[in-house]
Amino acid sequence: MSNFQNFIDGAFVAGRGDAFGNHFPTTGEVIGEVRAADREQVDAAVGAARQALRGPWGRMSVPERIALLRKLSQGINARFDEFLEAEIHDTGKPRSLASHIDIPRGAANFDVFADQVATLGTESFAQPTPDGAGALNYAVRGPRGVIAVVCPWNLPLLLMTWKVAPALACGNTVVVKPSEETPATATLLGEVMNEVGIPAGVYNVVHGRGPGCAGEFLTSHPDVDGITFTGETRTGEAIMKAAANGVRPVSLELGGKNPGIIFDDADFDKTMEGIGRACFANTGQVCLGTERIYVQRGIFDRVAEGLAAKARSYRFGDPFEDSTTMGPVISAEHREKVLSYYDKARTEGAQVLAGGGAPQMQGYDGGYWVEPTVWTGLPETSPVVTDEIFGPCTHLQPFDTEEEAVALANNSPYGLATSIWTTDLARAHRVAGEVEVGITWVNCWFLRDLRTPFGGSKSSGIGREGGVHSMEFYSELRNVCIKL
Ligand code: NAD
């Protein structure tokens, strides 16, 4: 049994808030206990972060910070297997996935933002005039201060370091509130912080739930200078309200109901491979995942068959076995939610092309398993087609014209991501310019260059992170004007 402690001012401390079990989603077994931070402990974490800004961290040169960021990446890689095991125990995701995505990207984020800050400049405007009436303006970049980092459970280490790395690169200090479902890797990172010599108070972790608990204590804390959040849109709204007190900046990476658009000239095999991943990777628990697919009528039946076959090809089981290609969902509660949509689809008359229920899992009876599922035949107004389910499921709808496909794709309050599948380049450009999302992939999905702007439009978020966009959020510009 692991006991997950808070990490405050460089030391591990037992939480004084409520205690709850940490479950292994594969079996449902309780494998650890989380003792949440109470309000005073969240205060202490924010206080330590403030103090660290005034200490050696605040006076450190950029090259020294860069060196420490690189050591953090190396430190995670040096304990790769421990991080991998911790992530698998928290999420039940297959080793094949976590070892290729979660942990390597979790480490790489520190390198990426070390590179970014190394070449980061600011603007200057020189207007000298012969009579000396001109001016030189230049901007100085400094940290924002204490950043609250509130994270979800689907890609715990990866999404947390996606925020912590640029925040530290810009010289901020952070208080992280990991998801209550996945406390392990954020805690382990505290050990690495100490090992590589990050000063105490720069990185703090407070555990607990959101409303009325550590999450809310942190985001409503008056001494927090900025909040970065990834999670559900509804939670984003609550956090934005909390941030309004004191007019603190927020970066919100929220939910989606992402459309895929498949034209009849698409390369069929490559499309099935890509869109299959977009629907089912990480058991569908990816914000960028595709839960509604619009298929040009001429190839609809073929795509439907292909995707159903793909859904049936996944193998459930022990996440530590290489043969396992799909894990459970994160929790009993989330399984209930996903299965409630499976029921709704059936009662609303969907044609179930694959899956549609929970698999029989001998030896893993208590686990949070759901089948990868493909439907068609529902109206666009069905909650199955409009709500983010966040499970391994997708709904297929035929279309005839490009205009119709764009209109269907845009008919959503969300605007996170889309993927367009076509061999007609002109059409790809046209449609990419029309779909109202933050991220468009053409003939691929989740192909990431970490320097690019990442974020959603409409209810899928505010702001962009990635590359220089992260630097903009995690730093404050001050302009200096000198009369010449
Ligand atoms: P969630 O919103 O339920 O929880 C996220 C975090 O917020 C958790 O740490 C939680 O404890 C905390 N929280 C909850 N209520 C809070 C409150 N009132 N105040 C402060 N903190 C609070 O999200 P989740 O279920 O953990 O994650 C799944 C969601 O995340 C999905 O909607 C998914 O689309 C979204 N997501 C978005 C992105 C993106 O980049 N846009 C990436 C991954 C996940």
Average pLDDT, the chain: 97
Alpha helices of 245-331 — where are they, by DSSP H? 268-280, 300-312
User: Residue whose CA is closest, atom 22 of ligand 1?
Assistant: 210
Q: Is the CB of 331 under 6 A from ligand 1?
A: no
Instruction: Check if 231 has its Cβ closer than 6 Å to any atom of ligand 1.
Output: yes
Segment 405-443, tens digit of pLDDT = 999 999 999 999 999 999 999 999 999 999 999 999 999
Residue 127's pLDDT is what? Answer: 87
> Phi/psi of residue 437, each to 5°?
-140, 165
pLDDT of residue 1: 77
Reading the block at residue 138, the tokens are 């230049």
Q: Which residues contact 224 (CB under 8 A, 6 or more apart)?
A: 46, 146, 147, 148, 175, 218, 248
* pLDDT tens digits for range 443-455: 999 999 999 999 9
Q: Which atom of ligand 1 is nearest to 239's Cα? A: 19
Residue whose Cα lies nearest atom 18 of ligand 1: it is 211
> What are 309-339's pLDDT values in tens digits?
999 999 999 999 999 999 999 999 999 999 9
Q: 393 an active-site residue?
A: no
Task: For residue 6, report the phi and psi dihedrals to the nearest 5 degrees.
Answer: -80, 155
Q: Percent of the chain beyond pLDDT 70?
A: 100
* 154 contacts 285 by C-beta, under 8 angstroms: yes
What are the pLDDT digits (tens) for 220-267? 999 999 999 999 999 999 999 999 999 999 999 999 999 999 999 999
pLDDT band at 3 (very low <50, low <70, confident <90, very high): very high
Distance from residue 397's CA to the centre of ligand 1 (Å): 29
Cα(231) to ligand 1 centroid in Å equals: 2
pLDDT digits 0-9 by tens, 95-138: 999 999 999 999 999 999 999 999 999 999 998 888 878 999 99
Residues with Cβ < 8 Å from 68, sequence gap 6 or more? 60, 168, 196, 197, 198
What separation, in Å, do the N-terminal and C-terminal C-alpha atoms of the chain show?
67
Active site residue 232: no
438 lines ligand 1 (CB under 6 A): no
Identify the residue whose tokens are 């179930």.
352
Residue nearest (by alpha carbon) to ligand 1 atom 16? 210
Residue 254 Cβ inside 6 Å of ligand 1? The answer reads: yes
Tally of residues, the chain: 484
Per-residue pLDDT at 157 exceeds 90: yes
User: Which of 158, 230, 235, 337 has the most ligand 1 atoms within 8 A of CB, as the residue to mutate?
Assistant: 235
DSSP character at residue 100: I
Ranges of H-type helices in 358-412 = 383-386, 402-410
Q: Is residue 216 in contact with ligand 1, taking CB distance under 6 Å?
A: yes
Atom number, ligand 1, closest to the C-alpha of residue 231 = 30
Residue 371 has pLDDT above 80, yes or no: yes
For residue 179, the CA-to-ligand 1 centroid distance in Å is 8
Q: Is the pLDDT of residue 458 over 90?
A: yes
Regarding pTM above 0.95, the answer is yes
152 CA from centroid of ligand 1 (Å): 5
Q: Alpha carbon 418 to chain centroid distance?
A: 16
- Cβ distance 433 to 479 under 8 Å? no
Q: DSSP letter for 102, please.
A: I
